[in-house]
Structure 1
Amino acid sequence: MSDKTKPRKIIHIDMDCFYASIEIRDNPALQDKPVAVGGSSRQRGVLSTCNYIARRYGLHSAMPTAQAVKLCPDLVLLPVDMVRYKQTSAQIHQIFSRYTDLIEPISLDEAYLDVTESSLFRGSATWIAADIRRAIWQELQLTASAGIAPLKFLAKIASDHNKPNGQFVINPHEVADFVRQLPLRKIPGVGKVTTQRLTEIGLQTCADVQRFSLNELINRFGKMGQRIWQFSHGIDERQVEPNRERKSIAVERTLAENIRTVAQGIDVLNTLYPQLLRRIQASCADIPLTHFQRIGVKLKFDDFHSTTLEKSAVQFNQENFTDLLRQIWQRAQGRQIRLIGLFAHIPDPRAERQMSLW
């Protein structure tokens, strides 16, 4: 850890079935029913979240709604009410601010809090987390789970340990043993495909990675390989960033019907590109378009695996997005495409200022 004299005290708060819990709170008649929030099965929608009763049927977030209804015919499917969810999220963040100013929102329903310097509850992060969860329940009638650890990635893993409505602590002296036994699939960002590739080379736990070469992991997995190696050695120097800036702007479309050919994909790109252009001009009016030099394309296949391809030091124009689309299409390998997305990274203003000096 970067500060060896005083381990950080990081809390990761994760709301339980956030959207569904709000719907059930506001309509108690749903309390004992399987409930999900998401898009219509008639429009190829997917579930945003579902309650634990629905999960007993095998339902989960990002599952196609049509599949969810087949697995659970009695499912109560509700449309997304983002205005209400954002209002509730703002109330939760007001509660967080009573305990620390170092709050890093990750999404509407989760956040990191650094309470290292807090004197509340005699400086006990465990008690602070418990009181945050108590306040959320008393004031909003919603449950939250918490993870407490000296490292961000461990705090996130810990918050999932005693879900729902629980918390789990990893003390500094427990980090080495906890990490050694940790399955690599538990590391944030390591999905099914990466897990399978790791298993194929004999890596299933962090202890396995500790006996593996950093260079070989980087060669095989790129930046993710470096992250896996660092986390497997209990290294995570990321700070809680209360003013984390938006880093990219994106547009994407889930297609009404799957497509197969790159020509069909280009037709979709031709409608997405103007939307991305308008979104950039609305969000970053003070940044010239010529400064957006890192762009990317995203595909989601009919097996729900996703892939992205980025390119740096290129002009922001439709031709370059089309070139990227042609390249990434080769990864389909016979699979149909159900979603196409375009994105551009927002230039770092510090880098812009540095360039202007020269």
Structure 2
Amino acid sequence: MEFNGNLPNIIYLDINSCFATIEQQANPHLRDKPVVVAAYTTNSGCILAASVTAKKLGIKTGMRVMDAKKIYPKVIVLLPDPAKYRFVHKAILRIVKRYSSDVSPKSIDEFVFKLPLGVDPINVSKEIKEKIKQEVGEYITVSIGISTNKYLAKVASNLVKPNGLSEINTNNFLDIFSRLKLTNLTGIKKGNSVRLKIFGINTVLQFYNSPIWKLKLVFGALPAGRQGIGGFYWYQRLHGYEVDLPAGRQAALNQKMIGNSYAPPPNMANEAPSIISKLCEKTGFRLRNHNLKASGVHLSLQDRDGNFWHMGRKLKKDIFSNCDIQKEINNLFKISPIKENFRNISISTFGFNKLNNLQLEIFEDSQKRKNLITAIDDINKKWGLYTIHSGSTNMDSKVVQDRISFGQI
């Protein structure tokens, strides 16, 4: 199979050093300085984003704050401010939608979209970069990749950072592949790299030129008995053909669990009721955002002495409201042997069905209830999570700080 000869019209946009750059946009005094955004500002806090300047010093996402300070003792450490990041995400999304009706936000800092045929992706990308500077912030930069499928557009977006603009097409793919290591490819880390090398595939060009039968052997059997289907997908991806469908609600339906967890600092280790209340609010919001209801709940608890307890429960009817989730989680909490000094509290829901398939109730108008909850969710989406919330939810910002999970918005 030859490389896809169609004109590239898939664009992948990645906000450079997203959280850190947005903080620098908001506060000019932080610009061109080593800044990190960490889950906690204490030494054990995990770094979620490092500014371009910090990255040049060797500070990376995933490091502990203490390790960053060993590299540069005066590194500036900030807590996350999700409201800022969502604001920028939505502002950039509005800009992108002017150019495409087929837009898929991949995470808080990444977007992939398809241009109509005949539109020059290079010119559009340059215009979007300029619009972001004019309408969102002059300090915010994005790296953009262009290709004939989402995967190679993502690879292209990583070629030049920060503020890059790269295209992978039928005329240059061999040159670009020849300059990449296997681990430069999205989805190929150490494990997959070793697996490829066992079969004599040591370079990206060898990966590209490998026949389907060999790649099926490399990636083996996948779920549902589809022998080596992963190898077929990799073959298609590297040849520029689309096999990665957009993640939608059906994908969410196939998830095993939707939930939330919190590791309270020592001074909050005995605030379980408040923490559980807020975790239930966040879980319910995520559940409904995927248009799902759940038939089961699960609670896991760990204290600071190393004791661990967990229990799940299948429910008699599906639930989707925050108060129903909290009621079931509280029932589990009552029978837990761990009641204080918590290191981690985690709740989750499972056994999903589509929310629009509501069962009629004898004593309650379930559709009217859903409509009310949907209206509240719409207000919270527009004005920020917890703008409207249950009276039992402790809105102290120290209790379960707002977080953005990887791959979430």
TM tier, smaller: 0.5 to 0.7
Distance 1:242 1:216, change over 3 A: closer
Aligned to 1:17: 17
Q: Which has the higher helix share?
A: 1
Among residues 113, 128, 137, which one is paired with 1:132 in the alignment? 128
Give the CA deviation at 1:183: 3.0
The separation in 1 between residues aligned to 2:97 and 2:11, in whole angstroms, is: 13
Give the CA deviation at 1:155: 0.6
Distance 1:198 1:105, change over 3 A: same
Asked if the contact 1:10–1:112 (Cα under 8 Å) also holds between the matched residues in 2, the reply is: yes
Give the CA deviation at 1:174: 3.6
Give the CA deviation at 1:195: 2.5
Aligned to 1:169: 167
Aligned to 1:332: none
Give the CA deviation at 1:162: 1.7
Describe how 1:101-140 pairs up with structure 2 within 5 A: 101-117=101-117, 123-139=119-135, 140=137
Asked if the contact 1:101–1:242 (Cα under 8 Å) also holds between the matched residues in 2, the reply is: no
The separation in 2 between residues aligned to 1:230 and 1:63, in whole angstroms, is: 35
Distance 1:28 1:287, change over 3 A: closer
**Are residues 1:144 and 2:150 paired?**
no
Asked if the contact 2:12–2:154 (Cα under 8 Å) also holds between the matched residues in 1, the reply is: yes
**Are residues 1:216 and 2:217 paired?**
yes
Give the CA deviation at 1:188: 1.6
Give the CA deviation at 1:344: 6.7
The separation in 1 between residues aligned to 2:131 and 2:141, in whole angstroms, is: 10
Asked if the contact 1:158–1:169 (Cα under 8 Å) also holds between the matched residues in 2, the reply is: yes
Describe how 1:91-106 pairs up with structure 2 within 5 A: 91-106=91-106
- Partner of 1:80, secondary structure, is coil
Number of matched residues? 293
Give identity over the alignment, percent.
25
Asked if the contact 2:11–2:113 (Cα under 8 Å) also holds between the matched residues in 1, the reply is: yes
Give the CA deviation at 1:158: 0.8
The separation in 2 between residues aligned to 1:342 and 1:195, in whole angstroms, is: 35
The structure with the largest alpha-carbon Rg is 2
Asked if the contact 1:103–1:242 (Cα under 8 Å) also holds between the matched residues in 2, the reply is: no
**Are residues 1:198 and 2:196 paired?**
yes
- Partner of 2:112, secondary structure, is strand
**Are residues 1:72 and 2:81 paired?**
no
The separation in 2 between residues aligned to 1:245 and 1:101, in whole angstroms, is: 21
Among residues 157, 160, 165, which one is paired with 2:158 in the alignment? 160
Q: Provide structure 1 residue ranges, at least 5 long, that are not aligned to the other structure.
A: 258-271, 298-314, 319-337, 353-358
Give the CA deviation at 1:282: 5.6
Describe how 1:190-269 pairs up with structure 2 within 5 A: 190-209=188-207, 210-211=209-210, 213-219=214-220, 225-239=231-245, 246=252, 248=255, 249-252=258-261
Asked if the contact 1:153–1:187 (Cα under 8 Å) also holds between the matched residues in 2, the reply is: no
Give the CA deviation at 1:137: 1.2
- Partner of 1:100, secondary structure, is coil
TM value normalised by structure 2: 0.59
AA partner of residue 150 (structure 2): K
Q: Deviations along 1:308-332, whole A, 9 cap, x unmatched? A: xxxxxxx9769xxxxxxxxxxxxxx
Give the CA deviation at 1:80: 0.4
The separation in 2 between residues aligned to 1:236 and 1:72, in whole angstroms, is: 43
The separation in 1 between residues aligned to 2:249 and 2:200, in whole angstroms, is: 40
AA partner of residue 211 (structure 1): S
AA partner of residue 218 (structure 1): F
Asked if the contact 1:187–1:228 (Cα under 8 Å) also holds between the matched residues in 2, the reply is: no
Distance 1:282 1:113, change over 3 A: closer
Asked if the contact 2:13–2:142 (Cα under 8 Å) also holds between the matched residues in 1, the reply is: yes
AA partner of residue 168 (structure 1): S
Range with greater deviation from structure 2 (171-180 or 107-116): 171-180
Asked if the contact 2:236–2:243 (Cα under 8 Å) also holds between the matched residues in 1, the reply is: no
Distance 1:63 1:228, change over 3 A: farther
**Structure 1 vs Structure 2 CA RMSD:** 4.1
**Are residues 1:53 and 2:44 paired?**
no
Asked if the contact 2:144–2:157 (Cα under 8 Å) also holds between the matched residues in 1, the reply is: yes
Q: Deviations along 1:68-117, whole A, 9 cap, x unmatched? A: 12221010011100011111111111111111111110111110010034
AA partner of residue 22 (structure 2): I
Give the CA deviation at 1:46: 0.8
Q: Provide structure 2 residue ranges, at least 5 long, that are not aligned to the other structure.
A: 223-227, 267-274, 301-311, 316-342, 358-409
Give the CA deviation at 1:223: 6.4
Give the CA deviation at 1:279: 6.2
AA partner of residue 251 (structure 1): N
TM value normalised by structure 1: 0.67
